[in-house]
Structure 1
Amino acid sequence: MVLSRRVARFNRVATNRVSKYVVGWAPGFGMIVHKGRKSGTEYRTPVNVFRAADGFVVALTYGPGADWVKNVLAEGGCTVITRRRSHRVYDPELVHDETRQLMPPVVRQILGLLDVQDFMVLRRE
């Protein structure tokens, strides 16, 4: 069921403006700072992000076709802000995992309800 374009549009206009005050410090949340592929404009996108062995893993709740995902792939990296720290990350890799093993157990269940099966793995510099 990955979240719809309608939900994405609402979040971009309303929810993201509020969440930007929470995602920098709340566990399981973060901000992806990336540049537009064509415009070069800097964007900040709130995401569900979790630590991985050598970096981070991001749940792609809008699927792998989201603009921010395309921007990070084109750039070859981005900055992740989580828990009040900025991390430069690189080598983005899309992973399709129906079992959601990269996520913490409780998060797996929630993402299962949303049918999220795609993730982006980012390595720390």
Structure 2
Amino acid sequence: MSPLPRALARANRHVLNKVMSRLAPHLPGFALLTHVGRTSGRAYTIPVNVFRDDDGAYRFALTYGRGAQWVRNVLAAGGCTVSVRGRRATLVRPRLEHDPDRAWAPPLVRVLLGVVDVPDCLVLEEKR
């Protein structure tokens, strides 16, 4: 099984993202991520799942794969901003990581990501 299908991503963009955009900044494990389009220069804001490492790095599971537009935009721009639980942070130095064991994820999330076969994550550091 591969990461979630693109058709599901399109449906989420039009339905679920509208609902989650209101809830994400206040829920544990969620954030609003703002990135800039590579060609349009337009700012886009999307709800995402986010996890913090012990060292403070932010990790985003790539449920739609490494080729998702938001991932490509963050990599091209060298960063993004997130709103997490009422706090806004600027994130920099994006890097892709492949971890088939998903050791960085909480136990339940690790299992769910295994079911949908998501071994990749995007890692960013908070700008100091």
Q: TM-score, normalised by structure 2?
A: 0.94
* Letter of the 2:11 counterpart: F
**Dislocated runs of 4+, deviation >6 Å:** none
> How many angstroms apart in 2 are the aligned matches of 1:60 and 1:31?
15
> How many angstroms apart in 2 are the aligned matches of 1:54 and 1:21?
25
CA RMSD of aligned residues (A): 0.8
Structure 1: segments with no counterpart, 5+ residues: none
> How many angstroms apart in 2 are the aligned matches of 1:57 and 1:88?
14
Q: CA deviation at 1:107?
A: 1.0
Over the matched positions of the two proteins, sequence identity in percent amounts to: 47
* Letter of the 1:105 counterpart: P
Q: CA deviation at 1:95?
A: 0.3
Aligned to 1:43: 44
Q: CA deviation at 1:55?
A: 2.2
Q: TM-score, normalised by structure 1?
A: 0.96
Aligned to 2:96: 94
Q: CA deviation at 1:19?
A: 0.7
Structure 2: segments with no counterpart, 5+ residues: none
Q: How many residues matched?
A: 125
Name the SS of the counterpart of 2:67 in structure 1. coil
Aligned to 2:108: 106
